[in-house]
Structures are given as C-alpha cells and as structure tokens.
Amino acid sequence: MIYDFDTTATSPVLPEVLTEYVRMLGEQGNNPSSTHAGGLRALHQVDEAKRIIARCLDCSAEEIIFTSGGTESINLALLGASRRNNRRPRRAVTTAGEHDAVIETFKVLRDDEGYEIDFVPLTPEGTADTDAFIQALEKAPCGLISLIVASNETGAVNDCGLLLPLVRERAPQAVTHGDIVQVCGKMPFSFRRSGFDFASLSGHKFGAPKGTGVLLKRKGAALSPIIHGGGQQHNFRSGTVNAPGAMALALALRFHSERLEAEREHVLAMHHLFLREIAARGVPHRVISPDGGSPYVLSIAFPGIRGETMLNALSAEGVYLSTGSACGSKRAGENHVLAAMGLDKQAILSAVRISFAPHHTDSDVRHLASRLADNYGRYASI
Ligand code: PLP
C-alpha cells in the first residue's frame, strides 16, 4: 500500500473525474475547431467546462484560456503581458517565495528584454514583507507584478486583499499576475475580487489529469501569444484545445469547490493530528510552516536527520513525502524559499514537506507518524 503525502507536487485523478474523462477520451474525439457536428459537440464541451470554471473561480467564461498546466500559464502571462505592453516600465516586482516557473520566466525577461527584477524578501513566516513590497513599488516605476498566493513550499498565504490595493495606489500602470496553483480546489478564490489581471492554475494539483491548466485573463488585459499556430482561443494560445482535459479540469475543480469548507476542515484536522502524533512519540521537530497558512502543506524540520535521508527511508516503505518543490528536487539541500525565510543551511537540510489531502484518514496519518518516528530513531544522529 502506498501512503502518498506528496500531493502538493501532483495528485491522482479523482475517481469521479476519471470515469467521465475516459468516456470523453473514447467517445468524443473531435476537434472543437471543426465545424461539423462532432466538432460542435466538442466545442460545446469546452464552453460547458468554461461555465463550470467561471462559477468556481468567480470569473467570466471569456476570461478563461486553456493551457497545458501551471508553468505554461505563468510563461504566457509574464512573457505575453510584458511583450504586449512594451511601453510599460521594464521593471518587475515579485517575491522571493515564488515557484521556479515564475523565477525562471523573469530571468528570461531580464536577459532577453532588459527587465530589472526586484525580489521582495520574505518574513520568517514565509509571506512577502509588506514594507519591503511598498518600498519596491515606490523605488521606481514598475510594469509587471507577480505574486504567489499560497506557497507550494510552506503553505504561507500572501494577503492579496492587502497587497493588490497597494499596487493599485502606488503602481497603477503595472500588470498583475497571481500564481494560484496551490489555491484552486483548496481555498476560496474570486478572480473578480482578487484585483489580478492574470492568474495561473494547474489541473493536476487538484485531481484533474496532468497536461491541463488555465490562465485567467481579465477582459481588456493585453496579451501577446507565446505559442503560434492556428489561432485557437482568440489567438492567445494556438493548438487544438484539449476538450476532455478542459472538462476534466472543470469537474475536478467543481468537485472540490462544492466541498471546500469540509475538505479544509478535514485536512486541518489531519495536519494537527500529525503534529500531535509526532509530539507524542517524542520526535524532535521544528515546524517551519506558519500558523494560519494552507493546511495542505506542512514544512517541518527534523534536527539530526537530512530531509533526503528521511524521504528515501520512507519511500522504501511506500510512504511518500518530499524535500520541497519537485521541480527543484535536483538541487538537494537548497531551497530558495526556506533560505529567504532566514532558515540556516542545517534547518533547510533537515526539512521535509508533507502534504495533507482530503482523502487521508486518521490511520494514514498515524502510519506516517509512526514510520517517521521509527526512521528518526534509526537514522538521526544527535
Ligand atoms: N506554481 C506553483 C505554486 C506550483 O506549486 C507549481 C507546481 O508545483 C507550479 C507553479 C507549476 O505548475 P505545473 O506543474 O502545472 O507546471
């Protein structure tokens, strides 16, 4: 039996979605751009998916662009918005807590388009430092802003209700992008009220198949395509629209949106149960995730044992967790988000990321705590 506590990296397709997805893959193979009846049926499916997503994320159907996932959405938003708005200041503000998809895209803007990028430091709680954010906005005119809403490393949640009005006051010309990959299906989110011009999400993080994603684009927000071809999706994203994938994403999002409060309470209960269980077993630990963040992500250090060692020991027993973002996992011992929170190398080396999900049970969590405690006893050197 596998105990998967790494659902921040990806999640299995929800059984409720899988049946419908497989049916659509088998039965409705037409291209939504074809003008025959089969194509129109596929187009209808895409439109229905948009209606469902629009209801879940409080946006309009016209604001939805389907992509292949979070990374593509982020690339499209940042590259496409900056290239289209090339008279805006070539200065971007983001945070030190962003996912690599944002950081690496900004590096492209820096190297290819001469952008200056300001990375706002994090507080010890893992959120963007508000005073430093204000300073960055006031330092010089700014054309582009990207903010991660919930951290994939710690679950820390940036208060966009506070930060976005600051942008509107101090940098009204700036285009804003939100990375809501770890928000969708886990926390309430209203695109309309968020104040973002763009927001990126990824289906495989909440029970839709891999290769599905969405970029939300506010009406009137200017965007150049980064993928060129047949002009699908109003030329913002060429390529045949993945109709079954779009519907699967919509169904998975709706599934969680209808259960958001209950799932969050359950996940929080699992998170607390785990902390109680390891405390009861006397495992020394330091919780890195802040209070009040997303309960779906727990960053925690176990002094005396490398996170990597714990990961490998548990993996051999069918218990999966991670030492941080799966995208950055090649650089063992380095974690730019934990470093930006001020953690020293030792703490970072001994940190692991545990993800809690709605399908976890008390006995799953007790199993994790017990295996972790045993392996700590076996491998820790204090
Ligand atoms: N942004 C965040 C916060 C993420 O957690 C991830 C994936 O880990 C991404 C972006 C990239 O999404 P995808 O894997 O769909 O490309």
pLDDT in tens, 343-370: 999 999 999 999 999 999 999 999 999 9
| Number of structural domains found in the chain | 2
Number of other CB atoms surrounding residue 88 within 10 Å? 18
Instruction: Tell how far the Cα of 148 is from the centroid of ligand 1, in angstroms.
Output: 10
Q: Candidates 181, 189, 249: which one to mutate for ligand 1, based on the most atoms within 8 Å of Cβ?
A: 181
Residue located nearest, by CA, to atom 13 of ligand 1: 70
Torsion angle of the four alpha carbons 162, 168, 170, 176, in this order, in degrees rounded to the nearest 10: 90
Q: Is residue 241 located within the same domain as residue 328?
A: no
Q: Is residue 229 located within the same domain as residue 123?
A: yes
Q: What is the CATH number of the domain that holds 164?
A: 3.40.640.10
Predicted confidence pLDDT, tens digits, the chain (382 residues) = 999 999 999 999 999 999 999 999 998 789 999 999 999 999 999 999 999 999 999 999 999 999 999 999 999 999 999 999 778 899 999 999 999 999 999 999 999 999 999 999 999 999 999 999 999 999 999 999 999 999 999 999 999 999 999 999 999 999 999 999 999 999 999 999 999 999 999 999 999 999 999 999 999 999 999 999 999 999 999 999 999 999 999 999 999 999 999 999 999 999 999 999 999 999 999 999 999 999 999 999 999 999 999 999 999 999 999 997 666 555 666 899 999 999 999 999 999 999 999 999 999 999 999 999 999 999 999 6
Q: Which atom of ligand 1 is least distant from the CA of 205?
A: 15
Instruction: Tell how far the Cα of 281 is from the centroid of ligand 1, in angstroms.
Output: 34
Residue located nearest, by CA, to atom 12 of ligand 1: 70
Query: Which residue from 267, 4, 351, 296 is spatially nearest to 152, judged by alpha carbons?
Result: 296
Query: Which residue from 148, 204, 174, 165 is spatially nearest to 12, judged by alpha carbons?
Result: 204
Instruction: Tell how far the Cα of 284 is from the centroid of ligand 1, in angstroms.
Output: 31
Q: Is residue 270 located within the same domain as residue 337?
A: yes
| Radius of gyration of the CA atoms of the chain, in A | 21
Of 240, 257, 274, the one marking the end of a domain is: 257
Q: Candidates 95, 200, 327: which one to mutate for ligand 1, based on the most atoms within 8 Å of Cβ?
A: 327
Q: Is residue 205 located within the same domain as residue 344?
A: no
Instruction: Tell how far the Cα of 280 is from the centroid of ligand 1, in angstroms.
Output: 34
Strand 3-4 vs strand 319-320: parallel, antiparallel, or unpaired? Answer: parallel
Domain that holds residue 327: 3-11+259-379
**Which residues line the pocket of ligand 1, CB cutoff 6 A?**
69-71, 99, 101, 148, 152, 179, 181-182, 202, 204, 213, 325, 327
Strand 198-202 vs strand 213-217: parallel, antiparallel, or unpaired? Answer: antiparallel
- List 56, 59, 142, 327, catalytic entry: 327
Instruction: Report the distance separating Cα 14 and Cα 256, nearest Å.
Output: 10
Instruction: Tell how far the Cα of 153 is from the centroid of ligand 1, in angstroms.
Output: 11
Beta bridge partners of 299: 353
Instruction: Report the distance separating Cα 249 and Cα 21, nearest Å.
Output: 9
Q: Is residue 120 located within the same domain as residue 243?
A: yes
Query: Which residue from 324, 325, 302 is spatially nearest to 371, judged by alpha carbons?
Result: 302
Instruction: Report the distance separating Cα 25 and Cα 319, nearest Å.
Output: 32
* Location of structure tokens 């129109």: 40
121 Cβ partners below 8 Å, 6+ apart? 96, 128, 129, 132, 340
Of 257, 273, 304, the one marking the end of a domain is: 257
pLDDT in tens, 177-191: 999 999 999 999 999
Number of other CB atoms surrounding residue 316 within 10 Å? 9
Query: Which residue from 209, 290, 169 is spatially nearest to 20, judged by alpha carbons?
Result: 209
Half-sphere exposure of 40 (CA within 13 A, CB side): 3
Q: What is the CATH number of the domain that holds 295?
A: 3.90.1150.10
Instruction: Tell how far the Cα of 70 is from the centroid of ligand 1, in angstroms.
Output: 5
Catalytic residue at 160? Answer: no
Q: Is residue 167 located within the same domain as residue 217?
A: yes
Q: Is residue 266 located within the same domain as residue 121?
A: no
Q: Is residue 210 located within the same domain as residue 294?
A: no
pTM for this entry = 0.97
Q: Is residue 100 located within the same domain as residue 161?
A: yes
Of 226, 257, 288, the one marking the end of a domain is: 257
Q: Candidates 78, 99, 204: which one to mutate for ligand 1, based on the most atoms within 8 Å of Cβ?
A: 99
Q: Is residue 145 located within the same domain as residue 209?
A: yes
Query: Which residue from 244, 39, 84, 256 is spatially nearest to 175, judged by alpha carbons?
Result: 84
Instruction: Report the distance separating Cα 281 and Cα 350, nearest Å.
Output: 18
Q: Is residue 308 located within the same domain as residue 180?
A: no
Q: Is residue 190 located within the same domain as residue 54?
A: yes
Residue located nearest, by CA, to atom 8 of ligand 1: 9
